[in-house]
Amino acid sequence: MPKSFRYLLFGAVLLLVSTSAEADPLVLTVTNPNQTINYGQLNEFGVAQVSFIGDLSNSSNQQITIGTPGLPCCDPSSYHLEITQQLTSLGLIYNSQFPTTVDALSNINGLNLFTVNVPLWTNAPAHIITGIFTVYYYLPGGAVQSVSNNISINVPAGIPAPEPTTLALLATGVGGLILRKRRRRSSPTSRRVHKH
């Protein structure tokens, strides 16, 4: 075996060992990272709620703490969704039961990570919302590390919002019907007197 080949083989083994030694102890997997909204998902307010589910896996021999030492729990010091592309304002709800620790050599599967509320009552064209969900964590005595996954939501064209003139016309029509009904009730011809 030539000497240069042995050096190359030794370098490859050394690279492989150093890469595996630096692997993140916490692995985040968003199990439904790419979602598509359909009009059947809309609630009575014209908003679609899109929930993301994921798994957390601890490959270390120590318990992992979610968060940043000395900072309060939750967004942005424990986990955070950064929206990188959007056309409309969004609502964001994190899981209030998000774990604060992951035991050594264990998994937490089927975890509700967060829900994005996407309004479709706008005149926005079809578009894609993209983001990066990040979880911050640390091992005992270790520095804060992070693990991230990308997400996307395919959004159909928005349902056109009524124009102010249309709303005023509708309000006038409803008001006229109510007034007409009141007048009928109070007019003398609508009252019948029964004589015995």
Q: Is residue 12 part of a domain?
A: no
Model pTM score:
0.71
pLDDT at 160 over 60: yes
Q: Is residue 6 part of a domain?
A: no
| Residue position matching structure tokens 């509708």 | 170
> Are 53 and 139 contained in the same domain?
yes
Q: Is residue 11 part of a domain?
A: no
Which one is predicted more confidently, 40 or 177?
40
Residues 91-128 pLDDT 10s: 999 999 999 999 999 999 999 999 999 999 878 899 99
> Are 47 and 111 contained in the same domain?
yes
Q: For residue 153, give its domain range.
A: 25-160
> Are 94 and 129 contained in the same domain?
yes
> Are 100 and 112 contained in the same domain?
yes
Q: Is residue 14 part of a domain?
A: no
Number of domains within the chain: 2
Residue 149 near residue 33 (C-beta atoms within 8 A): yes
Tokens of 15: 């690279």
- Among 163, 169, 101, smallest CA distance to 138 is for 101
Residues 48-71 pLDDT 10s: 999 999 999 999 999 999 999 999
Query: For residue 17, what pLDDT band results from cuts at 50, 70 and 90?
Result: very low
For 127, the 3-state DSSP assignment is: strand
Q: Is residue 1 part of a domain?
A: no
Whether the ω angle into residue 76 lies within 30 degrees of 0, i.e. cis, is: yes
> Are 105 and 155 contained in the same domain?
yes
Percentage of the residues of the chain whose pLDDT score is greater than 70:
71
> Are 180 and 117 contained in the same domain?
no
The C-alpha R_g of the chain, in whole angstroms, comes to: 29
Q: Is residue 2 part of a domain?
A: no
pLDDT of residue 121: 81
The rounded distance, in Å, linking the Cα atoms of 54 and 153 is: 16
Specify the DSSP class assigned to residue 122.
Answer: S
> Are 47 and 63 contained in the same domain?
yes
DSSP β-ladder status, 145-155 and 79-85: unpaired
Q: Is residue 20 part of a domain?
A: no
- Phi/psi zone of residue 36: left (φ > 0), alpha (ψ -120 to 50 degrees), beta? beta
Specify the DSSP class assigned to residue 94.
Answer: E
- Among 94, 89, 152, 151, smallest CA distance to 120 is for 89
